[in-house]
Amino acid sequence: MDPDLSAPRRDTRGIVDPSALLTRVRLRRHAPAEALRPYVENYWFIDWDLPAPYASHIVPHPSVNLTFQWESEYGADSAESEPYGEFTGVYAPGLYTRKIGGRGRVCGAKFWPGAFRPFVPDVPVADWTGRILPYEDVFPATDVTAVVSPADDRGRIAALDAYLLPLLPAAPDPQAGLARRLVARIRADREVRRVADLAHTEHLTTRSLQRLFSGYVGVSPKWCILRYRIHEALEAAATRDDVDWAALAADLGYADQAHLVRDFTATVGVPPTSYAGESG
């Protein structure tokens, strides 16, 4: 089943200790213009005004992001930075950490996994993986101030729509649609546990599936399967008082609890029981 394109998701999957982050920043997600919805999952806006630095940690999704932002430090001599834009490929190594402090604002566009390639069709999405670039290296230059300066969300949405709508691909790319659908299936269907099984049920060879993901998603199908498992475990640890980790491991397709603990610890940096205790 295709993902719902009518509204952005409201969950906090991927955010490490979401309650701590959301007490420090204002996070909102909005749907883009209708014509952009097959490509852009949501616009996400963050504003903060902090008396002390804070490090936010994210277990990234298999998505690329376009962001426009500004920030300033506290202090008598503090100065607001010039607004700037960044293009971030899928952040594959592990946790993405961002230190914030003072005042700041980020206006981001998160593309559906698999759906970005038509905007830059000559470059496999894997070429962007793990990279953070000035946005002008990928997109046409624009007046960044016009995106980040509106005081209300409606103005920021309108500015992002005005920038991205003229960049829409001339025609749909069936391979992008297929890649987006397969990632959505991996995310929603816990029965998808092995790459070979996914390829078989989709009438693809394992090699062609891997090529599709390299070209359109930026990471392998195995990476997506493992990453969405960790998102589920992270959400469980943050929202449930008593998690049966052995049962959750089985539900997520792990051979045993030890394998879940190993992957969780390698990704998040602490075992799931320790994380649950710290975030509870």
Same domain, 86 and 196: no
Same domain, 33 and 62: yes
User: Residue 4 — very low, low, confident or very high, per pLDDT cuts 50/70/90?
Assistant: very low
Over residues 54-75, the pLDDT tens digits come to 999 999 999 999 999 999 876 5
Share of residues in the chain with pLDDT > 90 (%): 64
pTM for the structure as a whole: 0.89
Same domain, 26 and 135: yes
User: Which pLDDT does position 77 carry in this prediction?
Assistant: 55
Share of residues in the chain with pLDDT > 70 (%): 92
Contacts of 155 (CB under 8 A, 6+ apart): none
Same domain, 163 and 40: yes
Q: Domain total for the chain? A: 2
Same domain, 163 and 27: yes
Residue 269 has pLDDT above 60, yes or no: yes
User: Which pLDDT does position 76 carry in this prediction?
Assistant: 46
User: Which pLDDT does position 7 carry in this prediction?
Assistant: 47
Contacts of 119 (CB under 8 A, 6+ apart): 39, 139, 167, 169
Contacts of 42 (CB under 8 A, 6+ apart): 8, 9, 29, 30, 31, 32, 109, 110
Residue 1 has pLDDT above 60, yes or no: no
* Domain endpoint, select from 167, 199, 230: 167
**Contact status, residue 126 vs residue 215, Cβ threshold 8 Å:** yes
Rg (CA), the chain: 19
Residue 100 backbone dihedrals phi, psi, to 5 degrees: -130, 155
Q: How far is CA 6 from CA 11, 32, 45, 141, in A?
A: 15, 9, 18, 29
Q: What is the CATH number of the domain that holds 198?
A: 1.10.10.60
Same domain, 178 and 83: no
- Please state, in angstroms and rounded to a whole number, the distance separating the CA atoms of residues 224 and 183: 7
Over residues 219-228, the pLDDT tens digits come to 999 999 999 9
Residue 268 has pLDDT above 90, yes or no: no
Does any domain span residue 253? yes
Q: What is the CATH number of the domain that holds 74?
A: 2.60.120
Over residues 178-226, the pLDDT tens digits come to 999 999 999 999 889 899 999 999 999 999 999 999 999 999 999 999 9
Over residues 127-138, the pLDDT tens digits come to 999 999 999 999
Over residues 142-176, the pLDDT tens digits come to 999 999 999 999 999 999 999 999 999 999 999 99
Does any domain span residue 11? no
Range of the domain at 75: 18-167
User: Which pLDDT does position 278 carry in this prediction?
Assistant: 64
Most confident of 95-99, 186-190, 216-220, 247-251: 216-220
